[in-house]
Amino acid sequence: VALAREGCAWAQELGARQLVIWPATDGYDYSFSVNYSRAWDSAVASYRSIARECAGVQVSLEWKPTDEAARFSIVASTGAALLLVEQVGEPNFGLTLDFGHLLLAGENPAQSIDMVASRGKLFGVHLNDGYQRLGAEDGLAWGTVHPTQALEAVWYLQQHQYGGHVYFDTFPNNEDPVREAQFNIRQFTRMWERAARLRDARALKELW
């Protein structure tokens, strides 16, 4: 909470429009190691406090279902994240959806985007791809493993006239980071253009 408040102060001073919070360690590894209701209530109170202190800045939660730092997350699904947003109840508190995190949770990214955007709480998206396993996130180049799901996710962004931030949250550990960034931009631009051509039912039918 203290770190998020410090980030908020910097965002306000710099005139930034958004503060993204990734709670990597907000979870647990073992059964009987945490009081779930108490942990949830603490999360609600903490995010509400941060959102209120961050007046004029969007506070966006980037939830992740599991991580090496915490095998089970307190906020482990899009549904849980939306419940958290509802209970926090602050207009400047919303969600950043990470494509890889959605896959890691066993969700269909397009459906998750639709759920959040239809409630006006989609503040940002992180685009990447990978072969998801429990506790692992590959962070591969956008649309290289799940191209159809990636295209549908972009299509739903267009359906909701999304105009927020798009980040490429990939991990070029063994690749040239500049070339990977260029590839991600080209890939997203192509998918955006292709999705725009799928506006009507006939075009969608021709996809198959």
| pTM beyond 0.75, yes or no | yes
For every one of its 208 residues, what pLDDT tens digit does the chain have, with 9 covering 90 and above? 999 999 999 999 999 999 999 998 899 987 788 999 999 999 999 999 999 999 899 999 999 998 888 889 999 999 999 999 999 999 999 999 999 999 999 999 999 999 999 999 999 999 999 887 766 677 889 999 999 999 999 999 999 999 998 999 999 988 899 999 999 999 999 999 999 988 765 666 666 5
Any idea what DSSP says for residue 22? -
How far apart are alpha carbons 103 and 144 in whole angstroms? 14
- Joined together, the tokens standing for residue 13 give 């001073």
Torsion of CA 107, 80, 46, 7, to 10 degrees: 20
Instruction: Name the CA dihedral angle for 44, 50, 52, 58, rounded to a multiple of 10 degrees.
Output: -100
- Reported residue count of the chain is 208
Name the token pair of 124.
């940002």
Q: Which tokens sit at 59?
A: 């506070």
